[in-house]
Structure 1
Amino acid sequence: MIDSMLFNLMFIGVLGIVSQWLAWRFRLPAIVIMSIAGLLAGPIFGLINPKEDFGDVYKPIISMAVAIILFEGSLNLDFREVRGLGKPVFRIVTIGAFLAWVLGSLAAHFVAGLSWAVAFVIGGLFIVTGPTVILPLLRQAKLKPRPAAILKWEGIIVDPFGALLAVFAFEIIRFLLSDNVTVLSLLLFFAASLFAVLLGWVSGRGTGFLFEKGHVPEFLKSPVVFVIVLACFTVSDEIAHETGLLAVTAMGITLANMHIASIGDMRHFKENISVLLTSTIFVMLTASLTVKTLLEIFNWQIIAFVLLMLFIVRPLSVWLSTVGTDLSTKEKILVGWIAPRGIVALTVASYFASILLDRGFTDAGILMSLTFALVFSTVCAHGFTIGWLAKKLGLATDERPGVLIVGGSSFSTGIAKTFQELKTPVMIADSSWKRLYTARKAGVPFYRGEVLSEQMDYYLDLTPYEYLIAATELDSYNALVCTTFVPEIGRNNLFQLSLRSQREDDIEDIGNTIGGRILFHQDVTWEELNKRVERGDVFRKTNITEKYTFEAYLEEINENAIILFVLKPSGKIGFFTEEMSPKVEDGDIVVSLMERYKEYDKIQKKISDQREKQLKGKEQKGQT
């Protein structure tokens, strides 16, 4: 291939991002696509070999990427989440994680043939599932809230600690196996670890202080955090090797629990960097594998180890840790099966493999084969079976893509009732009991709380909802809600009512990146919609068929009717917006808001027609 480091970097980045896009487009596990891309580009076709192409900078690139990925994971660890966890989740992330570490280490030693030191290091790392792999699977499978919450918070909480457990296991066992081990050397190790934690805490507190006091401008906050994370990792690692990961994790946890608004504002940048790094690093790691490493995967010891981790270690650790909890047998089966290892496991395993080899642990040479076999097997096995197993166990929601409506009102309740009648999940969210009165009276599901608050993540599961409608009377709030939920729901599925209010404010200069897509058309405001619902207008559902086409429907409806959305047989919803109208086909259901008298006339006509048919039928029977 072309002997250019610049070209190789570009090629790896393209492979990573294209793999992510293909995974999103075809609803496949991203790691599977990235693994295939890396293997094809590396050991199979020999297009690239990052380990040789990058030379001495290969290890530093991997190390810094792991530090940033681990910082990103620890930044999600808010202690308020831990305090609010139920008993099953708490047991799984404590007792379950410890059992998984011990059982996995025993399997690595007695089955895979690793030394005790290497076995306990890799056993600690393999407890990691991680939000980067588990959250896409949860969205794909649409689990019920309870098992989804358990898997979600396990991934978030255990993710930062897997690498830490590996670090401590490595250092302690290295000292214990050393011939010249002394109490002083152990104390120095713990002192270095304590220094790493202190450095991470100071870095986090210092960063938070600078942000809270306004000493860093907004446009520099993300770069400042990025540089401080790298500095924290490098300084700690130079003072005592392998403690850099501990330092950046401590920094992330510190910042997460300072509850600084700026950290939330940087979430999009942090997630984007994480996606970019995980994509490129994963392709680099898989492309650096040799044919020998791939062939080692088919070693009976590695295969036996993977099978033990899949069918014994994970189910047993979950089952034992949840004894005495209110988890049902079906929930234990599902949670005990789903534990995909991902990018963090592979990147950190590569990091430790090189270090262990440098320290004389020759058996660490198979760590990459072992880790890649486990990662690829778990992602494939769990990614392609989670939906099927959840449905078999009755733990998946068979419902269609749902709609979250922000803002309680008469119109919100009316359209929500229509969604209910169409078997579409719906939820109205508002912070006011008064505005939720009509929803509560109509029996529509509701959430009382501020959707922009941090607590919303803990109490409202967004998994069932693929669409969001901001329908409050405040234009600016609607725009803020839509802008905030872009990463979670996607810009194409975010909608809001018309920004044009009765004041006829000039909004032409508002950026097109702010807010959601304008529903219906500009003249249909919040006031207009609620006025029409309160005066008696009704939501009409019309089936489009070959005989009754959408064109015929448009000719029939009154000019004052508002066409709201079209429901596809698949459950997908197409909203009519200011910019475009969805394509309506046979089998679709069109919903519109129209005056009641039109509906009344149609009902009366149908009743009269039915009576005429009945009378004609009786007359015919009488004549015979």
Structure 2
Amino acid sequence: MATESVSGGLDPISAVALVGVLGVGAQWLAWRLRMPAIVLMLVAGVIVGPVLGIFDPARDIGPFYKPMISIAVAIILFEGGLTLNFHSLRDAATGVKRLVYVGAPLGWLLSTLALHYAAGLSWETSAVFGGLMIVTGPTVIAPLLRTARLSKRPSALLQWEAIVNDPFGALAAVLAMQVVYVVHTSEGVAAAATHLVIGIIAALVLGIAAGALVAWAFSRGKVPEYMKVPVLFVLVLGCFAISNKILHESGLLAVTVMGMVIANADLPSFAELRRFKEHATLLLVSGVFILLAAGLDVSALGNLSWRAAFFIIVVVLLVRPLTVLLSLMGTDIPKNEKILVATTGPRGVVLISVAGLFASALMDAGVEDGNLLNPLAFVLVAATVVIHGFTLAPVARYLGVTAARRPGVILVGGSDWTTSLAETLKKAEIPVLIADDNRAHLRKARDAGIETFYGDILSEEAELTLDMNAYKIVVAATDNDAYNTLVAGEMAPEFGREHVFQVARDVSDTRRKNLPPTIGGQEVMPDATYSKLNKLIWKGWTFRITNIGEEYTMEAWRQDRPDAVLMGYLDEDGEIHPVEDDDGVPSGKGTRVLAMVPEGQGGRNGAKNGGQPGNVDA
């Protein structure tokens, strides 16, 4: 039967299940431990593969596992292309162009020199692998950016460079491989050049045509809503396969271009499509890393010498910084952002998966050291993933290019209640923003020095001008329950449903007017509607942030403030955490509680220490 194990290994179904459990499990564990997910996935794959021998992809899945990786990489790059909306470039456009037009060829040249002189490879192998090293790995960059929370421009630079340069890296390797064929076989220069040019043009045409077809069909209702994602998958696979038939590895370019065309077509259902693709990509990235790590040939690593380690050092400390700094020379990008991009160059799935294909091609062409491509690619990916996985966030903080030292709060709707809350958060040094499409509602907030956004928080202008990475929590608190529910539903996938709140809905006597309780965000306070919250402010209720510790416990705090409504606590780093009751507040050092307190219940802690302006107790 199809599910029988081979040579004592796992059966294919168990193997695929193991890959899923390890990949998603590593992602979850990384989230809990606040570690780079890629590192844990590589470790998990190596342990079940080369170390314990439990799982061998070639043995347990069979000949399909390499095509599976190729298809997964194609879908990952397509999803990356879907994120490349030209409107999002704005401040980073010049830098991205430089990193593509100047950085790609310069990186190819410097990487080739490093491979030849540092790693000791032949010129043929160096030129092919140097082309692949243009790739900085969107599968690695995306999780790192999610963890490091960079400010908008350096984040856009790294993301665009990784995705756009990925297919060009593969094509550079194809170009070098064509030269190798000419030198080592009887193929003529003209024939090789013609094949290459035709393949690149075909990939571009296929990508543009497929993207335009999707945009036309989806916008005109030619495809029903429930079939849009399946149709999209089929077209991506078809575009990738046809392009690869014309020119090996040109399919990566075709699917990236296809994604970019769709991203800039302003489709009504684009947000839902991209969200589904992001979920699929998360699974695919996890699976591919586990497969590649588990399939590592340990004996091949023995063919590497000390020069491999020297090569890694040269790449990290010399090749990457020189490539970026020379490419961005003369631009108006600040120095600290240039340094961050220059010191961030992790490699990922595309490099490993494509390197294996070119290693076989080089050996078939008679290039003896082509067999070193696989182990060297794995070592490069593992080293750069670990190095940048653990250094990106601290380096970004040191250079001052993170979105904010503390993740902040977005308050949707200007009112007395949101302004009072914003003033308290600001004096506690928590970034806070009030957004409203009614300028009059923002007057009090502006007078209090609160950062405001005049417009719809769901608008394209908000997406382009606001740095959402600076915020962790969203509170929808307008006088329109339906709009609050819409905001909570739209922003929950990005911020996490546990971080999205709305004021309680006014319950109507008519069931036809009541919204389903399953949609929207969590209640910011129990049964506290927009009108009730603002009436409390008018009655003298205030927000207070109070220190909690051994000297002044939560029990004492509650005794002093029996009617206070607890909203959350601030940890030692100043990060805010919503909680439902007093038991959710830890008693550790540096804990401060945020609550809404009635007039006259300031508490002995505030009185004993004299309190501080802005309702922040010492």
> Is 1:58 aligned to residue 65 of structure 2?
yes
Matches within 5 A, 1:59-74: 59-74=66-81
**Contact 1:63 / 1:351 at 8 angstroms: preserved in 2?**
no
Distance in 1, matches of 2:293 and 2:227, equals 34
- Asked if the contact 1:495/1:519 (under 8 Å) is kept, the reply is yes
Secondary structure of 1:434's match?
Answer: helix
Query: 1:596: Cα distance to partner?
Result: 4.1
1:273-284 aligned within 5 A: 273-284=280-291
Contact conserved, 2:579 with 2:585, CA < 8 A, in 1?
Answer: no
Change (3 A) 1:261 1:90: same
Alpha-carbon deviation of 1:225? Answer: 0.7
> Aligned AA for 1:304?
F
Other-structure match for 1:519 = 524
**Cα RMSD (Å):** 3.1
Deviations 1:505-531 (A, max 9, x none): 56887263x322111112x11122233
Q: C-alpha displacement at 1:434, in angstroms?
A: 3.0
**Unmatched tracts of structure 2, length 5 or more:** 1-7, 611-618
**CA separation of 1:503/1:114 partners in 2, compared to 1, >3 Å: closer, same or farther?**
farther
Measure the CA separation in 1 of the matches of 2:293 and 2:54: 13
Provide closer, same or farther for how the CA distance between residues 445 and 504 of structure 1 changes in structure 2, counting only shifts above 3 A: farther
Q: What is aligned with 2:480?
A: 474
Q: CA deviation at 1:558?
A: 6.3
Q: Which residue of 1 aligns with 2:222?
A: 215
Contact kept in structure 1, 2:184 and 2:366, CA below 8 Å: no
SS in structure 1 at match of 2:434: strand
Partner SS state of residue 56, structure 1: coil
Q: Which segment drifts farther, 26-35 or 48-57?
A: 48-57
Of 223, 245, 250 in structure 2, the residue corresponding to residue 238 of structure 1 is 245
- 1:590 aligned onto 2:593: yes
Of 352, 362, 379, 2:358 maps to 352
Partner in structure 1 of residue 325 of structure 2: 319
Q: Summarize deviations over 1:556-601 as a string: whole Å, max 9, x none.
A: 4364x54333323343433355x99733536533333344466699
1:310, CA displacement in angstroms?
0.6
Counterpart selection for 2:106 from 79, 82, 99: 99
Q: Normalising by the residue count of structure 2, what TM-score does the alignment of the two structures yield?
A: 0.88
Query: Given residue 315 of structure 1, which amino acid in structure 2 is its aligned partner?
Result: P
Equivalent of residue 485 in structure 1, options 460, 484, 491: 491
Q: TM-score, normalised by structure 1?
A: 0.87
Aligned equivalents of 2:391, 2:189: Cα separation in 1: 50
SS class of match (2:574): coil
1:530 to 530, 534, 537: 534
The CA distance in 2 between the partners of 1:165 and 1:571, in whole Å, is 47
Q: Which residue type is aligned with residue 400 of structure 1? A: R
Contact 2:432 2:451 in 1 (8 A): yes
1:19-58 alignment to 2 at 5 Å?
19-58=26-65
Task: Kindly provide the amino acid, as one letter, of the partner of residue 389 in structure 1.
Answer: V
Conserved? CA contact 2:11–2:61, under 8 Å: no
- 1:196·1:247 contact (CA, 8 Å) conserved in 2? yes
Q: Does the residue aligned with 2:595 lie in a helix, a strand or coil?
A: strand
Q: Structure 2 CA distance, aligned partners of 1:252 and 1:384?
A: 31
The match for 1:554 is 558
Q: Are the equivalent residues in 1 in contact too, given 2:557–2:603 (CA < 8 A)?
A: no
Q: How does 1:199-598 map to 2 (within 5 A)?
A: 199-297=206-304, 299-396=305-402, 399-501=405-507, 510=516, 512=518, 514-522=519-527, 524-534=528-538, 536-546=540-550, 548-557=552-561, 559=563, 561-577=564-580, 582-583=584-585, 585=587, 588-596=591-599
Shift of 1:189: 3.3
Deviation at 1:404, TM superposition (A): 2.0
3-state SS of paired residue (2:61): helix
Provide the secondary structure at the position in 1 that maps to 2:594.
strand
Alignment partner, residue 616 of structure 2: none
* Percent identical: 41
What residue number does 2:3 align with? none
Shift in Å, 1:406: 2.3
Q: CA deviation at 1:271?
A: 1.0
Q: 2 CA distance for matches of 1:79 and 1:37?
A: 37
Q: Quick check: 2:488–2:500 contact (8 Å CA) kept in 1?
A: yes
SS for the counterpart of 1:472 is coil
Q: Report the Cα distance in structure 1 between the residues aligned to 2:52 and 2:92, rounded to whole angstroms.
A: 48
Number of aligned residues: 602
Q: Would the alpha carbon gap of residues 536 and 502 (structure 1) be closer, same or farther in structure 2, given more than 3 Å must change?
A: farther
Instruction: State how far apart, in whole Å, the 2-side matches of 1:511 and 1:168 are.
Output: 58
Equivalent residue of 2:474, what SS? strand
Task: Decide whether aligned partners of structure 1 residues 249 and 389 sit closer, same or farther in structure 2, where only a CA change above 3 A counts.
Answer: closer
Are the equivalent residues in 2 in contact too, given 1:207–1:225 (CA < 8 A)?
yes
| Equivalent runs, 1:155-170 vs 2, <5 Å | 155-170=162-177
Whether the 8 Å CA contact 1:501–1:525 is kept in 2: the answer is no
CA distance in 2, matches of 1:371, 1:223: 34
**Structure 2 residue 199 is the aligned partner of structure 1 residue 195:** no
Deviation at 1:234, TM superposition (A): 1.6
Q: Which amino acid aligns with 1:342?
A: G
Matched, 1:76 2:80: no
Instruction: Name the CA distance, whole Å, in 2 between partners of 1:78 and 1:169.
Output: 31
Q: In structure 2, the residue corresponding to 1:55 is in which secondary structure?
A: coil
Task: Report if the CA contact (8 A) 2:561-2:602 is conserved.
Answer: no
Q: Quick one: structure 1 residues 510 and 356, their matched pair in 2 at CA, closer, same or farther if it must change by over 3 Å?
A: farther
Equivalent residues of 1:125, 1:165 under 8 A apart: yes
Secondary structure of the corresponding residue to residue 99 of structure 2: helix
- How far apart in 2 are the matches of 1:64 and 1:601? 64
What one-letter code is carried by the residue in structure 2 that aligns with 1:194? I
- After superposition, give the CA deviation of every residue in 1:393-430 in whole Å (9 maximum; x if it has no partner): 45457733322222222222211111111121222233
Asked whether the 8 Å contact 2:116–2:123 carries over to 1, the reply is yes
Q: What's the CA shift string for 1:8-54, capped at 9, x where partnerless?
A: 11122222111212222212222211111111111222112112333
**Could you tell me how far apart the structure 2 residues matched to 1:544 and 1:518 are?**
25
CA distance in 1, matches of 2:549, 2:189: 83
TM-superposed CA distance for 1:86, in Å, is 5.1
Indicate if the aligned counterparts of 1:520 and 1:576 stay in contact, CA closer than 8 A: no
Q: 1:3 to 1:539 in 2, by over 3 A?
A: closer
